[in-house]
Structure formats: C-alpha cells, structure tokens
Structure 1
Amino acid sequence: MEDVKAYIESGILELYVLGDMSAEEKLQVEGMASKYPEIRTEINAIETSLELYARAQAVEPSEQLRNRVLNSMVVNLGDDNTFTKSVTHHDDDNVPQLPAARVNSFYKYAFAACLTLLLISIYGLVNLYSQLQDSNAQIAALRLDKQHFANQVSLMDNQLDMYRDPSYKVLKLKGTAKTPTAAMILAWNAVSKKVMVDVQSVKLPKNDKQHQYQLWALVNGKPVDMGVFDAPDADTAGVKEMKAIASAQGFAVTLEPMGGSINPTMNEMVVIGTF
C-alpha cells in the first residue's frame, strides 16, 4: 500500500493527464490504474481538478472577436490574418498558463537516505554483536582462570595444613635398588587416620596404561592396601588422600597391574620408608 501511495505522490499521474510523457510511460500508468483502483480514482480527480481550474480561469472573448470568428467559419476562410495583431496579442495575454508539471523527487532522496541509514545501523549492530561475543569469551576465560587459581590455592592450603598440623607425621619414602632416584613424601594422621600424599613430591617413573602405582601400609610387618595412583606430571601440585588407617610403622609403593593387586609384587617395589 505504501508503494501505491508513493506512486501517486510522485507526480507521474499529473504528467499523464497533461499528456507530457511517452507512449510507453502512458501504457505503464494505464496498467497501474487498471491494477490499483486508488490510482484510477486519483487520475479522475486530477482531470476534474484541471477542468475546474480551466473553467475558473477562462476569459470571455469580446463581442467583436466572437463575430469575426463566426464570420470566418461561415465563409470557410479560417485565416488568422483577418485578426489584428493587437487583438491576437491581447487575447493571448489573457489566456492563463498552467504551471509546468514538476516531478516530485523528494521521496526518492528520502528513500535513499533511509536506506543508507539502515545499512549503517546494520553494520554498527554487527560490529557491536561481534564485540559483545568477544567480551563474553574473555569473561568466560577469566572465570575459568579464577576457578583454576582458587583450586590451586585450596590445594596449597591443604598441603600447608598437612605440614603445619602437629598431629600429622611426615614420612619421606626413598627409592629402592630398582629405582634409586625415586622418592615421595606422605603424611599420616594417627587421630583422623588420614593418609595424604604430597603429589608434587612424587618422583616416580611414568607408568603405562596397563599399570598403576599402589601404596601399602606396613602394619606389624604385613602390607595393607592403601589405594592406587598414577605418577603425576612434573607441574602437578596439591595433595592426594589415600585410604585411612589407624596404625602403621611405615609405607611402601609398588608397581602393579591396573586397579591394583591383593598382595604387593615385591620385585616391583619403587620406594619405602618407616617411622
């Protein structure tokens, strides 16, 4: 509907009524008029307005001029030379001139300006959305870093508590003849029965996927299973809690099949220590 309104206001219908357009343009206007009743109604209104305007501005010819025209028609002369130049000029001067039709180009410029503003707005929104996505990604990364830092602080606090708490007995396990450079530190609390391994202190050869290290408590000369673990990476920090035990004279670690064994494989012992 907006297109029909813009078409009517463009000024092309006035040019059509005045006949100031090509045959192709006339056919186009007539096609639009047959398709849209509003355009046909507007054409009729323009024609009526021009007719009323012409009647309102019409000049009544003088009686002398009227008689000469009638006489000329009767004798079939029709020669304009019979009219005096003064009279002809006088009448021409009194004939009102219709204002030249002017095509209204305001809407074309307005449409172009609106389209330009729309494109600029879309470009700005796309940039803003991209910046927002980048900001969200940065915020998510900061949150992960914050959580990781908090976890590291918590692990370090637990590790420090293990050494500060006098109820813990700290034991350093040393390598055997099989693995002389191996070592690790653990702490045992006889009150809470907790056994904590200082992960960063573990210096053991990297185990494969078919094996794990198993911790044993030495209780009255007999080994007691304390759980399995993997050799940590070099930069791994924190503490690892193993199974609880009420009494122990020492601890040892052996390399066992994945999941651990019921009894330790003595020739695979890597570290041992006693109180």
Structure 2
Amino acid sequence: MENKEYIDSGILELYVYGLLSETESEEVATMAKNSTEINDEIIAIEKSIIALSSSFSPFHSVANYEKIKAKLELKHAKVIEMKPTGNWSQYIGWAAAVLLMIGIGYQYKQLNLTSNQITNTENEKIKIEKELQILELQNKAIETSLAVVRDVKNTVVSLGGQAVAPGSSAKIYWNKETKVVYVDAAGLPEPPEGMVYQVWALKLNPLSPTSIGLLDDFDENNQRFFAVNSTGDAEAFGITLEPAGGSLTPTMEQLYTLGKV
C-alpha cells in the first residue's frame, strides 16, 4: 500500500487513539520508523489531539494533562507506543476530538447534499423556463391563426387534392387590401426528406405561376399554419412538392392542391 493510501485509510488516527490491537500497533510503529512521511503524519495527529484535549477537557487536573501531553510528545522523531490505561477520564478529550471530526464530516456531507439540491433546483428552473418560452410561442402562433381565420376581410380559397394526392387539401387566407397571404396546410401530408411544399399564385389566361413562398420546417410547425409572401394579383393558388430550396417553375406532376379564387 502506498504511503498516501495508508495515511488516508484512517489507521494512523486509530493508532494515536490507542484503538488498534497490539499487532496492528506494532505494524504502524514499524511503518513509522521506515517512513518519514508516515512518522510526520502521526506527529501531526498527536499535536492536534493535544490541542483539542486542552480545550475539550476542562475538568482535567494539571497533573493529568501533563501526563497525557508527556505520553504524546515525541523525542528524537521516535514514535511513542501508546499503552492502554484503566483511567478512562484521560480519554474524554480524545473522544471529544473524534466526535468533533465526525461532526465536521457530517456537516460537510450535508453541505454537499444541499449544494446538489440547489444545482438540481437551478437546472429544473431553467428547464421550466424553456418550456414556458415554447408554450408562449405556441400560444402566440395559435392566436395569430385564430385572428387570420376570424378576419372577415380575408378571402378564403379552398384548395382541393389533385391526381398525385387526391386526399390532400389546404386553405388560403388572402387579404386583397393588404395583400397578405396565409396558408393552412393541415390537410397536406408531411413532405419526404429533401422535399418542400411551394405555394404559387396563378394567373389563368395565359397560365402564369408566381412563387409566393415555401412551407419550410413543416414537421416543426404544429399548427401547419404559414405566412407566405404577399400578392395582389391572383386568380388561383396551387401547392406543389419541390426539391429543397424550391423551383423556378412548378412541377405539375407534383401538384398536390389547387383552387380558384
């Protein structure tokens, strides 16, 4: 066993307190003779106990105190073998020192527990704050959607499913005065990876499509309600499925929904 491990094991304190067996005491004494580090640690422990004994044993006589001190003092850097005694009053100070050490250890443990609880509380607080922010954003999105749906100035254009996806549907909310356009895409399936829905404002004669936006982050938009670019001149609206980033012209084979104003 390394010296540090031997010192940290607590056996030196038990040796100084006289709580080891005769065999164990002899082993410690031998270790101390062969190791300056262990010998110095024993000296330090004994000096600490002398100091603690003087403060925790107010009822000792001067003669008893000097006897204890004489037994603990080292001369010529040699370890004094502690001999058991029948006078237990001499060990009251030592017992007090042990209790003090135990108390300090307990308080340190409690301090660590309290520190961990504070850390956990702070982490929980941060988590709750993030969840509240998400809820606020969701509530704001719902309020926006409701305001658009309830606005009597909006023209509602229903888009029906086409050959590629007959079950698809969508709605356009278009304010012709402000030219603002919203898309309710709740009736569209989630686009495949690497694809995106693109919204088109159409002139019919001749057919002239104009892109007014992409329905990005489709899977993250729980309401499936999107604001797209404004338009003031449209006779119909259509939605196609295009490669990520969109296309300059609509891919008619991927026309999902279409509806006239």
Q: Which residue of 2 aligns with 1:232?
A: 218
- Which has the greater radius of gyration? 1
Q: 1:208 to 1:141 in 2, by over 3 A?
A: same
Task: Write out the 4+ residue segments of structure 1 that deviate beyond 6 Å after TM superposition.
Answer: none
Q: 1:126 to 1:175 in 2, by over 3 A?
A: same
**Deviation string, structure 1 residues 211-232 (Cα, Å, up to 9, x no partner):** 2221100135411111222583
Q: Which residue of 2 aligns with 1:215?
A: 199
Q: 1:187 to 1:108 in 2, by over 3 A?
A: same
Letter in 1 for 2:181: V
Residue aligned with 2:75, SS? helix
Pairing partner for 2:169 from 183, 187, 199: 183
> Percent same amino acid at aligned positions?
22
C-alpha RMSD of the superposition: 3.2
Q: Which residue of 1 aligns with 2:38?
A: none
Q: 1:250 to 1:109 in 2, by over 3 A?
A: same
User: What's the TM-score once normalised by structure 1's chain length?
Assistant: 0.62
Q: Is the 8 Å Cα contact of residues 205 and 231 (structure 1) preserved in structure 2? A: no
1:51-62 aligned within 5 A: none
Q: Which residue of 2 aligns with 1:55?
A: none
Q: 1:149 to 1:6 in 2, by over 3 A?
A: closer
Note the residue ranges of structure 2 that are not aligned, 5 or more in a row.
1-43, 55-63, 79-86
Moved more, 204-213 or 155-164: 204-213
Measure the CA separation in 2 of the matches of 1:198 and 1:207: 15
Letter in 2 for 1:191: E
Measure the CA separation in 2 of the matches of 1:179 and 1:16: 97
Letter in 2 for 1:125: L
Q: Following TM superposition, by how much is the alpha carbon of 1:6 offset from its aligned partner in structure 2, in angstroms?
A: 4.9
Pairing partner for 1:164 from 130, 144, 150: 150
1:1-275 aligned within 5 A: 4=47, 6-7=49-50, 14=67, 29-31=74-76, 104-199=90-185, 201=186, 203-219=187-203, 221-230=207-216, 232-233=218-219, 236-237=222-223, 239-275=225-261
User: What's the TM-score once normalised by structure 2's chain length?
Assistant: 0.65
Q: Following TM superposition, by how much is the alpha carbon of 1:192 offset from its aligned partner in structure 2, in angstroms?
A: 1.9
Q: Which residue of 2 aligns with 1:62?
A: none
Q: Following TM superposition, by how much is the alpha carbon of 1:13 offset from its aligned partner in structure 2, in angstroms?
A: 5.1
Q: Following TM superposition, by how much is the alpha carbon of 1:141 offset from its aligned partner in structure 2, in angstroms?
A: 2.2
Q: Is the 8 Å Cα contact of residues 253 and 270 (structure 1) preserved in structure 2? A: yes
Letter in 1 for 2:203: V
Residue aligned with 1:30, SS? coil
The number of residues matched between the two structures is 198
Measure the CA separation in 2 of the matches of 1:16 and 1:208: 86
Note the residue ranges of structure 1 that are not aligned, 5 or more in a row.
34-100
